[in-house]
Amino acid sequence: MPFSSSRKRMSHLLNVNGKKRLVVKGASEMVLSCCNKFHEKTGNIVQIDNGLMSQVENAIESMAR
Protein backbone atom coordinates (compact mmCIF):
# COMPACT_ATOMS: atom_id res chain seq x y z
CA MET A 1 0.00 0.00 0.00
CA PRO A 2 1.49 3.36 -0.95
CA PHE A 3 2.02 6.16 1.53
CA SER A 4 -1.17 7.91 2.54
CA SER A 5 -1.30 11.17 4.48
CA SER A 6 -4.38 9.91 6.35
CA ARG A 7 -2.70 6.59 7.33
CA LYS A 8 0.73 8.24 7.76
CA ARG A 9 2.42 5.01 6.75
CA MET A 10 3.10 2.71 3.83
CA SER A 11 3.27 -1.08 3.65
CA HIS A 12 5.00 -3.51 1.34
CA LEU A 13 4.57 -7.30 1.27
CA LEU A 14 7.79 -9.21 0.53
CA ASN A 15 8.44 -12.86 -0.25
CA VAL A 16 11.76 -13.72 1.42
CA ASN A 17 12.93 -17.30 0.90
CA GLY A 18 9.34 -18.49 0.70
CA LYS A 19 8.25 -16.56 3.80
CA LYS A 20 5.96 -13.57 3.57
CA ARG A 21 7.07 -10.41 5.39
CA LEU A 22 5.15 -7.20 5.78
CA VAL A 23 7.39 -4.14 5.97
CA VAL A 24 5.80 -0.97 7.31
CA LYS A 25 7.34 2.51 7.24
CA GLY A 26 5.84 5.70 8.56
CA ALA A 27 5.10 7.86 11.56
CA SER A 28 6.30 6.05 14.69
CA GLU A 29 3.07 6.46 16.63
CA MET A 30 1.02 5.19 13.67
CA VAL A 31 3.22 2.11 13.17
CA LEU A 32 3.21 1.40 16.92
CA SER A 33 -0.60 1.52 17.00
CA CYS A 34 -0.61 -1.48 14.60
CA CYS A 35 1.71 -3.58 16.77
CA ASN A 36 0.84 -6.16 19.40
CA LYS A 37 4.11 -8.15 19.43
CA PHE A 38 7.80 -7.31 19.71
CA HIS A 39 10.74 -9.11 18.09
CA GLU A 40 13.55 -9.23 20.65
CA LYS A 41 17.27 -9.23 19.77
CA THR A 42 17.39 -12.85 20.93
CA GLY A 43 14.88 -13.81 18.25
CA ASN A 44 11.95 -14.30 20.62
CA ILE A 45 8.61 -12.76 19.75
CA VAL A 46 6.74 -11.47 22.81
CA GLN A 47 3.43 -9.71 23.43
CA ILE A 48 3.62 -5.95 23.95
CA ASP A 49 2.21 -5.24 27.40
CA ASN A 50 1.21 -1.84 28.78
CA GLY A 51 4.64 -1.31 30.34
CA LEU A 52 6.53 -1.89 27.08
CA MET A 53 4.00 0.21 25.18
CA SER A 54 4.60 3.11 27.59
CA GLN A 55 8.38 2.77 27.24
CA VAL A 56 8.18 2.89 23.45
CA GLU A 57 5.75 5.82 23.49
CA ASN A 58 8.09 7.73 25.85
CA ALA A 59 11.05 7.02 23.56
CA ILE A 60 9.09 8.26 20.53
CA GLU A 61 8.09 11.42 22.36
CA SER A 62 11.66 12.01 23.54
CA MET A 63 13.07 11.65 20.00
CA ALA A 64 10.37 13.94 18.61
CA ARG A 65 11.49 16.71 20.97
| Domain count along the chain | 2
Residues 39 and 65 in one domain: yes
Asked if residue 10 lies in contact with residue 2, where contact means CB atoms within 8 angstroms, the answer is: yes
Domain that holds residue 10: 1-30
Report, in angstroms and rounded to the nearest whole number, the Rg of the chain calculated over CA atoms: 14
Spatial distance between the Cα atoms of 2 and 16, rounded to a whole number of angstroms: 20
Residues 39 and 58 in one domain: yes
Residues 40 and 61 in one domain: yes
Spatial distance between the Cα atoms of 21 and 18, rounded to a whole number of angstroms: 10
Asked if residue 19 lies in contact with residue 25, where contact means CB atoms within 8 angstroms, the answer is: no
**pLDDT by residue (tens digit) across 11-58?**
999 999 999 988 999 999 889 988 999 888 999 999 999 999 999 999
Please give the model's pTM, rounded to 2 decimal places.
0.68
Spatial distance between the Cα atoms of 44 and 65, rounded to a whole number of angstroms: 31
